Copies of this chain bind each other. A is one copy, B any other.
Amino acid sequence: MNSQHFSTKERILGAAEQLFARLGFAGASLRQVTAAANVNLAAVNYHFGSKENLINEVFRRRLDELNAHRLQALEEALKRPASDLEDMLGAFIHPALDLSLDRGGGGAFVRVLARAYAEHNDALRKFLSDNYGHVMKRFHAAFAQRLPDLDKEELYWRLDIVAGALTYAMADFGVIKRKTGVTEQQHRERSAEHLIRFAAAGLRAP
């Protein structure tokens, strides 16, 4: 009889997310994960087969939702009659912001995501490309329609820069310290505002 509300699998995923964010994929051991999740060591290999596959499941759990939210937010932004660049950028950025503010580990996940970029692991990159590829394509098409004078390749470069800055900002890499009296949520929301303003101007560059 478990004393917690969540299943063994869910507790493992949650603990793994936290520890991968803090210690990295190689740095966090399954013994640490299972201890934090309060489950038996063997449960990881029983439920997930291997550590490698556990890592993939940590991603899958969050990415499907994030992608869906982004596409949904984009369609809603485009529906509005006077939607501008800032609205479209918001559709890309705010779902990531919401995730980072999510109770239950979303804040950890954006750091895990940043680690995945840093890992430069081909299998992981393919996994992310498979999951993110169509989203980037959709946003590219929307931005291309909104910025008809901008060269297509140039737009790809700029969207890649936006994605990089977003990853960096959401994972809290930056040197800017949160001031006392400013909540984590306020800090991230301001970060998103600054990012949107900056990115909109960058995209409009001649």
Are A156 and B129 CB-contacts (below 8 A) given A23-B26, A26-B26, A199-B202?
Answer: no
Are A198 and B158 CB-contacts (below 8 A) given A167-B173, A168-B164, A169-B164?
Answer: yes
Provide the bound-state CA to CA distance between A181 and B173, in Å. Answer: 34
> Shortest Cβ distance from A49 into chain B, in angstroms?
21
Provide the bound-state CA to CA distance between A195 and B202, in Å. Answer: 9
Q: Given B114, B156, B206, which contacts A118 in the complex, CB threshold below 8 Å?
A: B114
Give the nearest-CB partner of A114 in chain B: B118
Interface residues of A in 169-205 (CB under 8 A from B): 169, 171-176, 190-191, 194-195, 197-205
State whether the Cβ of A24 lies closer than 8 Å to any Cβ in chain B.
yes
Interface residues of A in 19-69 (CB under 8 A from B): 21-27
Interface residues in chain A, defined as those with a beta carbon under 8 Å from any beta carbon in chain B: 21-27, 111, 114-115, 117-120, 129, 132-133, 136, 154, 156-158, 160-161, 163-165, 167-169, 171-176, 190-191, 194-195, 197-206
Give the nearest-CB partner of A158 in chain B: B198
Give the nearest-CB partner of A172 in chain B: B120
Residues of B within 8 A of A201 (CB): 201-202, 204-206
Asked if residues A175 and B163 are in contact (CB atoms below 8 Å), the reply is yes
Provide the bound-state CA to CA distance between A204 and B204, in Å. Answer: 11
Asked if residues A171 and B118 are in contact (CB atoms below 8 Å), the reply is yes
Give the nearest-CB partner of A132 in chain B: B175
Asked if residues B160 and A174 are in contact (CB atoms below 8 Å), the reply is yes
> Shortest Cβ distance from A87 into chain B, in angstroms?
16
Residues of B within 8 A of A163 (CB): 168, 174-175
